[in-house]
Structure 1
């Protein structure tokens, strides 16, 4: 297990246990974080699992794929550098302590 840190827009912090191989979205959903709606269930066909990656983690995650790039256009207030779709990032052991900030609302 690794711990992924989700910080809601109001500053509420959630230290979420996650298993390698599951997506960040699945970990948040299983933990009950309401700010990750995940309307499409992880099919990369919505942007309701949008997160902002903490600056120190940006170069340590896999690159965005073309589908994710396209769907991020539908996110509310995307950040060209820090926005990601949490359904597109699989947890690895190297992600222990990863910090993700949640937007005020999802698209």
Structure 2
């Protein structure tokens, strides 16, 4: 298992276990992380699982593809490190990955 750290919209820190191949969104929903609504269930057709990948991790995960970048246009306060957590798959070497969730998703 890999530990993923979510900073919820209210600033609370949540550490969750995630399995390789699982999306960050799936791990968050499974563990009841606040701020991940996942309205589309991971189909990359909404932005309700938007999060900010910590700067230290941005170069260590796969970059967003065209469909994700298009959908991020709808994310509230898109910024540096913005990703749709449904599109980021857990992989070896991600232990301790830090994701901050927007206040607007609280």
TM-score, normalised on structure 2? 0.96
Q: Quote the RMSD (CA, aligned, Å).
A: 0.8
User: 2:102: which partner in 1?
Assistant: 103
Deviating runs (4+, > 6 A) in structure 1?
none
Q: What is the number of equivalent residue pairs in this alignment?
A: 105
In the TM superposition, 1:27-106 aligns within 5 A as 27-79=27-79, 81-106=80-105
Residue segments in structure 1 that go unaligned for 5+ positions in a row: none
Residue segments in structure 2 that go unaligned for 5+ positions in a row: none
User: 1:23: which partner in 2?
Assistant: 23
TM-score, normalised on structure 1? 0.95
TM-superposed deviation, 1:92: 0.6
Label 1:6 to 1:95 Cα distance change in 2 as closer, same or farther (>3 A): same
CA distance in 1, matches of 2:81, 2:34: 21
